[in-house]
Amino acid sequence: MRKFNHMLVASTLMFSVYAPISNAEGYVSDVSAKFTRGVANLFTGIGEVPKNIAYVSGKTNPVAGGPGGLILGTLHTLGRTATGIFDVITSPIPTQSLIQPEYAWEDFKQPTTYFSSQK
């Protein structure tokens, strides 16, 4: 039994040394990007309010854009904060972003969408 344990440790070490480094670096960068995106969305979700006020005002008029953008921005703040929490919790599993644009400050002329396939 003792000999089997030594062989198991030796074979595990041999195979772990052989593991490709490039995949590990890609995985680490994907995980760190997802974690960073999650933290940023968690704390900057409030940026959706002025973004949506500007977006709705541009699409309609400033009178309707104020209250409409405030309501829409509040809803998108909750959505962005929730996706931030989800990204932080699931950061060991690298996936595409659930929200577009990935950050609230990226594109004020693009509406916030969820579960879109664009990248």
Q: Full-prediction pTM beyond 0.85? A: no
Residue 56 in domain:
yes
**Number of domains, the chain:** 1
Residue pLDDT tens, the chain, 119 long: 666 666 666 665 555 444 455 455 788 888 889 999 999 999 999 999 999 999 999 898 889 889 999 999 999 999 999 999 999 999 898 888 888 998 888 888 888 888 876 55
Residue 112 in domain:
yes
Residue with tokens 């344990």: 5
d(CA 78, CA 76): 5
Residue 7 in domain:
no
Q: Where are the alpha helices (DSSP H) in 1-103?
A: 2-18, 21-44, 48-59, 62-89
Structural domain boundaries enclosing 68? 37-119
Backbone angles phi, psi at 115, to 5 degrees: 60, 35
Residue 46 in domain:
yes
Of 87, 84, 82, give the one whose Cα is nearest residue 41.
84
Residue 80 in domain:
yes
Residue 26 in domain:
no
